[in-house]
Structure 1
Amino acid sequence: MNALNRTSRTVDLLLVAVALIWGTSYGVVKGALLTYPVLGLLALRFGLTFVLLSPALSGLRQVRWRERFGVVGAGVLLLGIFLAETFGVSLTNASNAAFLISLCVVLTPLVEWAWLKRAPRRVEWAAAGLSLFGAFLLTGGHFAASPGDLLVMLAALLRALTSCAAKRVMKAGAVPPLTMTAVQAAVVSAGCAALALTVAPAQWQPLPHWQGHGMFWGTVIYLVVGCTLFAFFVQNHAVNRSSPTRVALLMGSEPMFGALFACVWLGERLSLPAWIGGMLIVAASLLALKRAPQVAVQETVQA
C-alpha cells in the first residue's frame, strides 16, 4: 500500500511540475509570436516533437483500428486546443490566457459526467460556480470578453474533451502514453502545416536564422522539450492512471504560475478585480482537490 501511495504522490508532483511549465508557456509563446506566426510556430514545435518521438509509433502495432482512430481523434482535439489557445494568446494578455485556460478544471467534471458517466460531487459543483465567477471578474466584470479571451475559453473546453478522450482510448492499456503523445504531435504539426499552406499562406514563412534569433530558438527548444515532450507524456500517463477530473484539479495552479511569469517576463499588469478573479479560479481548483475523498486516491493507483 505504501508503494502505491508513493506512486500516487509521484504522479501528483509531476502534474504540479507540468502546471508550472505550462504556466510559463503563455509568456514564452507570446514572445515567440513576435518573431514567427502562429501556424508556423505550432507546425515547427510539434513537428520537432514528432521526429523525436517517432520510434514510439511502434506501440501502434498491437492496437486495434478502432483505438487507432481514437488516438487520431484525440490528436484532432489537441490541434483545436492549440489553434484556439495560441491565436487567443496573440489577441489577449498572457496572464488573462493563463487564468482563463484553467476553466478546464471545472469543465472537465461536466464533460466526464456526460461522456464517461461519472457525476460531479457537490464540492465540484461549488468549485465550478466559484471558477465561473472568477472568470467573470477576470474578463472585466462583464460578459463582453475579447476575441482572444473567447478563444482561450474554447481551448479550455477542448482540453476537457481531450482529457476524457485520452482516458477512453487508453482505458484498456493498449496505447502507451509515449505513443499517444507521438500521434498527437503528428496530427497537430500536419494540421497546422496544411492550414498554413492552403488557407493562410502568410503564416508559412522561412525559419528565422540561428544567428540573431537565439531567443526564438531557445524558446522553441523549451516548448518542445518542456511544454510538449515532458508535459504531454506526464499528462497522458496520469490520465491513464487516474481520472481526468483529478488530473485537471492537480493542475489548477497553472494560471497562477502563468500570471506571475507574464508579469515578470512581459511586464504585464492586471487590475485588482482581475487578480481577485484569477485567485477565485485557483481557489476553486484547490477546493475541489482538497475535498477529494480517499476513493479518488485509490482510483489513481488502481485505474
Structure 2
Amino acid sequence: MNATDPAGPGSPRATRASELMLLVVAAIWGSSYGVAKLALQYVPAMEFVALRFVMTFVVLLPALRPLLTGVDRRARLAAGSALGINLLAVLLCESFGVALTSAANAAFLISTCVVITPFVEWLMFGKRTSRLMLLCACLSLLGVALLTGSNGGTGAWARGEFLMLLAAVLRALLVCLTRYHLLRLGMPALTMTALQSGVAAAGACALVFIAGTPKLIVSAVAVPAFWGLMLYLACLCTVFAFFAQNFAASHVSPSRVSLLLGCEPAFGAVFAVIALNDHLTPTGWIGGALVVAAAWLATGAEAPHPSQRETLRSWLPRWKPNG
C-alpha cells in the first residue's frame, strides 16, 4: 500500500475510519462500568476480577510468543510481573468501587487519571508539569467535589468514590511504569499486556482461593447472561479496544487519540442513565462535566512532542526501579 492509496496511512479515509474506531472504543470503555455493575450482581468483586483476567489472558496467549524467543527474558518477566500486580490493584479498586457507587460516577471519577498522570510523571521522572495542568487539576478536583457531594458523600457512596479515585491514581502509575518498561526493554505492547493479564489472573485466583470463595463462581456458570457480560468485557473492552487503539495510532495524532478517548466518561454516564436507570443530580452532572473538561484540557496541555521517545529515554537514568 503506497502513500497515495486513498485507504493508506495518513489518508483521509483511514483517518476517518480511525477516528470512528476510537469513538467506538470510547463508547465500549464507557459502557464497561455499567456492564461490570451488571456482572457483579452474579458474583462478588474478587471472583469477577479473577474471571475477567483469566478470560483476557486466554485470548491473549498467542501474544506471549515474543517473550519466549526474545532476549532479556528475566528482565521482561520481572517488569511484567510488577505491572501485573499494579494492574490487579487497579481492577480490584475499580470493581469494588463500581459495586459501591453508580456506574455514572465511576465513569466520571476514573477519568481523573488523565489529569493525575502528568503529576505522577513529574514525581517519577522529574518532568515538570505546566500551569495549564495545574488549572486542569483544580478543575478536576472541583468536579470530584461536586460529584461526591451530590449524593451526601457518606456511607457506601463515600467508599465507592474513594476506591474509584484510588484506581485512577494506580492507573496513572501503571501508564507511567508501562511506558518506562516498554521503552527500556523494547517489548511489544501486546506481549506486555498478555504478561500483565497472566500475572493479574494468577494473583486474583490466589486471592479467591485464600478467601475460600471459589464455589461462588460455580453458581454463575449456568447463567448465560453472566457469560455474555464477561465475554463483552474480555473481548470487546480489552482485545478489540487494544487493537483499535494501536491501529488508530498509525493514522491519528496522539493528542487526537487522547481527545477522542476522553469521551469515555460521557458515554459511560449516558449508558448508566439509559441502561441502569442511574440518577445524577444537576450538581452531579455539573461535576462530571468539569471532570471531562479537565481531561480534555489536559490532553491538549500534554500533547506529545515529536521527539517524545528520545525525551523519555533521557529521563530513564534519573529513576531506576529496583532490579
TM category, shorter: 0.7 to 0.9
- Within 5 A, what are the aligned runs for 1:12-161? 14-60=21-67, 61-64=69-72, 65-140=74-149, 146-161=158-173
Greater mean deviation of Cα atoms: 91-100 or 16-25: 16-25
Paired with 1:171 and 1:79, the residues of 2 have a C-alpha distance of: 22
Paired with 1:246 and 1:70, the residues of 2 have a C-alpha distance of: 29
Greater mean deviation of Cα atoms: 217-226 or 199-208: 199-208
Paired with 2:141 and 2:102, the residues of 1 have a C-alpha distance of: 19
- Within 5 A, what are the aligned runs for 1:202-221? 204-210=216-222, 213-221=223-231
Matched residues, number: 299
TM-score, structure 1 length as denominator?
0.85
- Within 5 A, what are the aligned runs for 1:233-252? 251-252=261-262
2:172 is paired with a residue of what secondary structure? helix
How big is the shift at 1:287?
2.0
Q: Considering only aligned residues, what root-mean-square deviation do their CA atoms show, in Å?
A: 3.4
Aligned pair partner of 1:257 in 267, 277, 290? 267
Paired with 1:250 and 1:237, the residues of 2 have a C-alpha distance of: 14
Change (3 A) 1:138 1:243: farther
Paired with 1:160 and 1:167, the residues of 2 have a C-alpha distance of: 11
| Identity over aligned pairs, percent | 42
TM-score, structure 2 length as denominator?
0.81
Contact 2:91 2:167 (8 Å CA) reproduced: yes
How big is the shift at 1:122?
2.1
How big is the shift at 1:240?
12
Paired with 1:240 and 1:77, the residues of 2 have a C-alpha distance of: 28
How big is the shift at 1:198?
0.4
How big is the shift at 1:16?
4.3
Aligned to 1:277: 287
Greater mean deviation of Cα atoms: 226-235 or 255-264: 226-235
Contact 1:263 1:269 (8 Å CA) reproduced: yes
Change (3 A) 1:18 1:112: farther
Contact 1:242 1:299 (8 Å CA) reproduced: no
How big is the shift at 1:148?
0.7
Paired with 1:225 and 1:80, the residues of 2 have a C-alpha distance of: 21
Q: Which amino acid aligns with 1:30?
A: K
1:190 and 2:196 matched = no
Paired with 2:164 and 2:117, the residues of 1 have a C-alpha distance of: 15
Contact 1:164 1:244 (8 Å CA) reproduced: no
Paired with 2:71 and 2:254, the residues of 1 have a C-alpha distance of: 22
Change (3 A) 1:171 1:233: farther
Deviations 1:165-211 (A, max 9, x none): 1101111462112211111111221111111110352774315244x
Aligned pair partner of 1:199 in 195, 211, 218? 211
Change (3 A) 1:291 1:40: closer
Change (3 A) 1:253 1:101: same
Greater mean deviation of Cα atoms: 49-58 or 10-19: 10-19
Paired with 1:280 and 1:106, the residues of 2 have a C-alpha distance of: 12
Greater mean deviation of Cα atoms: 9-18 or 272-281: 9-18
Contact 1:196 1:203 (8 Å CA) reproduced: no
Query: Whose Rg is larger?
Result: 2
Contact 1:23 1:255 (8 Å CA) reproduced: yes
Change (3 A) 1:52 1:226: same
Contact 2:22 2:257 (8 Å CA) reproduced: yes
How big is the shift at 1:246?
8.5
Paired with 2:56 and 2:240, the residues of 1 have a C-alpha distance of: 10
Deviations 1:247-299 (A, max 9, x none): 76653221111111000010011001110000001111222334566xx2635
Q: Which amino acid aligns with 2:79?
A: G
How big is the shift at 1:78?
0.5
1:270 is paired with a residue of what secondary structure? coil
Give 5+ residue unaligned stretches, structure 2.
Answer: 313-323
Aligned to 1:266: 276
How big is the shift at 1:121?
2.1
